[in-house]
Structure 1
Amino acid sequence: MSRPGWPPSKREAGEGSVTAFLGLGSNLGDRKRWLEEALRKLAGLPSTQAVRTSSVYETEPWGGVPQPQYLNVVVEVRTGLSPEELLDGALAVERALGRVRAVRWGPRTIDVDLLWMDGQERSTDRLILPHPRLVERAFVLVPLAELEPDLIVHGRSVGAWLSRLPEDARDGEVRRVGGPMLPERAGPSGLDEPIHVEHEDGGPA
């Protein structure tokens, strides 16, 4: 269903904007192209500027469902959107790129997770911030630590959370396969009317 009041005004990210980090992943088809398309669309959201990305990492699937390996990146944005508006934009990017929520933690063309947003915490059916499994996942912590190792999440730095993971999870499951992929200039997202899509369990993916 359409979300009333979307899209927000097309103001530029500037005064009043905050930093947010989003995790992107793909393990179907041309994985790098899906990441590039998702990044372009995120950078074109209203009041949002893509600042930089981590390197590209190839990672083992998480969640126990047999499936191909993923490519993952973390992107830093500056945005004037609220957490809920940014979530709506992220879900709309997934929908535009053919994400089908048939199996929880199953394969997907694209996955876009809102990981952390400066000064914002949420604990609702729609959104939990910081992301509830951020500190458990090497495929998130490794690229996020590349960008901001001193970022504090749940009382510890990202680097400290990463050091607490088993060594094989850090080094065996996550392999750097490419450099940062932020485009020089992002165009409009092409998302005229982002749609709110509920997760299968009503909560975060």
Structure 2
Amino acid sequence: MSQLFFSLGTNLGRRRHNLQQAIAGLRRYVTITAVSPVYETDPWGPVPQPPFLNICVAATTTLDPITLFTYCQQLEKELGREKTVRWGPRLIDIDLLFYDTLIYQNSALTIPHPRIGERAFVLYPLADIAPDFIHPQTGQKIADMATAVSPDTIRRLPQPLLEPGAKN
């Protein structure tokens, strides 16, 4: 079994519902072991848009990373994602951050995700569920990487996305 981490984000429609649906869809391909608290984050990028809800998910799988990436893209489409503007508003975004300690790149997929170190909306929720995970390229703990970026654009929400023991 391989250990992996995802980042999920949404800023359109029923945002909590979108994240719950993405988790339910991911369960078809992976065994989810942890879900971070929900963070509301200011949008990132050049396009004016509403704030995001972001979470990170820890999971295990027997699938290879390419197959898993393909399934994640299919799931985004099933949930209504339309890729129109880069870094624009989205119903759901599912990013594969880490797959064990694999370092991999092709034209469609880079593992680890290349912009992890500059994104508070990834690092803070990831540090909640995997503070001691070591980035295979930088050698840094996720918790240490999180303290190096400003938390000014993110707010941890008090209500969990899933109730304890929930299956969706």
Shorter-chain TM-score tier: over 0.9
Contact 2:10–2:93 under 8 Å retained in 1: yes
Distance 1:117 1:184 in 2: 25
Give 1 or 2 for the bigger CA radius of gyration: 1
Task: Show CA shifts across 1:28-47 (max 9, x none).
Answer: 010000000000000112xx
Q: Name the SS for the 1:58 alignment partner.
A: strand
TM-score by length of 1: 0.77
Contact 2:117–2:123 under 8 Å retained in 1: yes
Matches within 5 A, 1:10-89: 17-45=1-29, 48-89=30-71
Task: Show CA shifts across 1:95-151 (max 9, x none).
Answer: 001111110000000000000111322121121110000111000000000111111
Residue 141 of structure 1 pairs with residue 120 of structure 2: no
Residue 120 of structure 1 pairs with residue 102 of structure 2: yes
Aligned match for 1:173, one of 153, 159, 163: 153
Distance 1:58 1:27 in 2: 9
Unaligned runs of 5+ in 1: 1-16, 187-205
Range that drifts further, 70-79 or 172-181: 172-181
Task: Show CA shifts across 1:3-38 (max 9, x none).
Answer: xxxxxxxxxxxxxx1110000000001000000000
Distance 2:84 2:124 in 1: 28
> How far did 1:64 drift?
2.1
TM-score by length of 2: 0.93
Contact 1:55–1:181 under 8 Å retained in 2: no
Distance 1:102 1:180 in 2: 27
> How far did 1:185 drift?
3.0
1:196 match: none
Distance 1:43 1:109 in 2: 19
1:9 match: none
> How far did 1:180 drift?
4.8
1:163 match: 147
- Root-mean-square deviation over aligned CA pairs: 1.3
Unaligned runs of 5+ in 2: none
Q: Name the SS for the 1:55 alignment partner.
A: coil
> How far did 1:54 drift?
0.2
Q: Name the SS for the 1:50 alignment partner.
A: strand
> How far did 1:179 drift?
1.9
Task: Kindly report structure 1 stretches of 4+ aligned residues shifted beyond 6 Å.
Answer: none
Percent identity of the aligned residues?
40
Q: Name the SS for the 1:152 alignment partner.
A: coil
> How far did 1:85 drift?
1.0
Distance 1:88 1:123 in 2: 15
Letter in 1 for 2:96: L
Aligned match for 2:77, one of 75, 92, 95: 95
